[in-house]
Chains A and B, each alone.
Chain A
């Protein structure tokens, strides 16, 4: 199954990932996540006293603010905020710091700038699918790294990946904006990270499946048959293992290596 991708990747190949933490001085936790030319900056402030309006004071509340690269936020961005909020709520331990609010601010630094102006213009003309959407997986990854940096108690990490379904029925992982325009449908899948455990693998299974095979969030656009959705799931899952390894490595690098033990 040979698919020619514009940037010469194989269908399963992800764009190069980079993740740096603690990039902002004043935020309590921050991360810069780039996936190819898509770059996002996430900042975490908090936990701050008090929940949001109408929030449950027995739990911590999470607030997501999306800052687009230019212009004001519209319906799409509101939707991302909501999806992110729900996703992050499910990975955070909300009962550890009750009656507090944690704000996560996501700034789009670059939205797959590989696309030239002309192409952008053509795409704008085509515009038959929502644009910018492949930002969402990167945003979730960035937010997840920033939460870790801020030391917010988490159940586990979240790794997000986008899968595109071509007209021919083949699945491409991590499509660029340009590729996305040619897709029939796509799915954004968020998985828990693969955990290191002292337990034998069997005991980690919930009802015969590994925990990391569970899913946190799934967002789909376009028309997709059940079979191709399951296909996406399978491919996404295998790629998520790679991404969670990457996340683990990038988290390790920042921890000071020779902190002496406290007496």
Chain B
């Protein structure tokens, strides 16, 4: 019975075209197919090269390492904002198409309360908020709108906008000036979750967990991001903790964000730590657990 319901190819390398499951002999089973497998009539055949994996009770997938990423619901990925539209950020997640990140897909995001990124950044949208009575606020709102349009059309630098805003402030001597930047998000690195992934449309991302909380999602400040393969990301995220991370974590303190799309972000107090950690991770892909530990030890010796 076990032999019937489980494929003989589990944990073996399969190549496209291989037939791994016969559905006609397992009529009462429900099986779930992951990436790299497809149903072809009465059989399940392989469409990518890799190792066939099986997870109880009924999941099958082909594990492979690629430079491109195929979006999949509930994956956590690292994306780079490439454009900003009224309702969406367009985010590159190394997939076939750009992904949409709705502007409101942040914790507490609603039409009223558009989320802000409070970051010390440079360009284009400056917003003036005055701690004065509501009648003034309205006027300021208009003012800001005007300034924004001016900036857009004239392409004035952010410093000029600030000067402009300060000059306007002269007319409200008793107001408290409170400037919040709306920096351009283009180029920003985000840790996001894939919420929709269909072949026919752009994938959709979210910066909240399923409960609508920010969790650890959102923009990643500072640090260093490098691109590797999807296989390496999966290795780093595997449980129990991957040997290279375990070995590094014992000696050093650093922050790391790993996207299933093959992007890894590392941050630490000292730049030297960032470099060491990222180099160790990049070289670890082809190494076994023991080799990884040895490699980390050697690196640490060289540093000390």
Contacts from A to B (Cβ < 8 Å)? 27-29, 46-49, 91, 93, 95-100, 148, 150-151, 153-157, 192-193, 195-199, 204, 247-248, 251-252, 255-263
Q: Nearest Cβ in chain A — how far from B251, in angstroms?
A: 22
- The answer for the CA separation of A58 and B50 in the assembled complex, in Å, is 27
Residues on A with C-beta less than 8 A from B67 are 27-29, 150
Known: A259-B231, A260-B289, A261-B55. 11 other contacts (CB 8 A): A28-B66, A49-B96, A148-B15, A151-B70, A154-B48, A155-B16, A247-B15, A255-B49, A255-B50, A255-B65, A262-B234
- The answer for the CA separation of A251 and B8 in the assembled complex, in Å, is 19
* 10 contacts across the A-B interface (CB closer than 8 A): A47-B68, A100-B96, A154-B16, A155-B47, A157-B16, A198-B8, A204-B19, A247-B15, A259-B65, A260-B242
Q: Nearest Cβ in chain B — how far from A99, in angstroms?
A: 7
Q: Is the CB of A195 within 8 A of B19?
A: yes
Name A193's contact: one of B17, B22, B234 (CB within 8 Å). Answer: B17
Residues on A with C-beta less than 8 A from B8 are 198
Contacts from B to A (Cβ < 8 Å)? 7-9, 13-22, 36, 38, 43, 45, 47-51, 53, 55, 63-68, 70, 96-98, 199-200, 231, 234-235, 237-239, 242, 285-286, 288-289
A98 in contact with B13 given A199-B22, A259-B51, A262-B238 (CB within 8 Å): no
A251 in contact with B38 given A97-B96, A151-B68 (CB within 8 Å): no
Q: Give the residue among A49, A93, A151, A258 with the most B Cβ atoms within 10 A.
A: A151
Q: Nearest Cβ in chain B — how far from A261, in angstroms?
A: 7
Q: Is the CB of B17 within 8 A of A256?
A: no
Q: Is the CB of A151 within 8 A of B16?
A: no
Would you call the interface of chain B mostly helix, strand, loop, or mixed?
loop
Q: Is the CB of B17 within 8 A of A248?
A: no
- What is the number of contacts between chain A and chain B, taking CB atoms within 8 Å? 127
Residues on B with C-beta less than 8 A from A248 are 15
Q: Nearest Cβ in chain B — how far from A164, in angstroms?
A: 28
- The answer for the CA separation of A196 and B45 in the assembled complex, in Å, is 10
- The answer for the CA separation of A262 and B232 in the assembled complex, in Å, is 12
For the complex of A and B, list the 3 residue pairs with the smallest distance between their C-beta atoms, beginning with the closest.
A156-B17, A263-B239, A151-B66
A261 in contact with B238 given A47-B96, A98-B199, A157-B15 (CB within 8 Å): yes
Residues on B with C-beta less than 8 A from A47 are 68, 96
Q: Is the CB of A46 within 8 A of B96?
A: yes
- The answer for the CA separation of A33 and B36 in the assembled complex, in Å, is 24
- The answer for the CA separation of A199 and B43 in the assembled complex, in Å, is 9
Q: Give the residue among B48, B234, B239 with the most A Cβ atoms within 10 A.
A: B48
Residues on A with C-beta less than 8 A from B63 are 259, 262
Smallest CB gap from A93: residue in B? B47
Residues on A with C-beta less than 8 A from B20 are 198
- The answer for the CA separation of A100 and B286 in the assembled complex, in Å, is 31
Q: Is the CB of A193 within 8 A of B237?
A: no
Q: Is the CB of B18 within 8 A of A197?
A: yes
Q: Is the CB of A100 within 8 A of B97?
A: yes
A148 in contact with B13 given A197-B19, A199-B43 (CB within 8 Å): no
Q: Is the CB of A255 within 8 A of B64?
A: yes
- The answer for the CA separation of A196 and B66 in the assembled complex, in Å, is 23
Q: Nearest Cβ in chain A — how far from B290, in angstroms?
A: 10
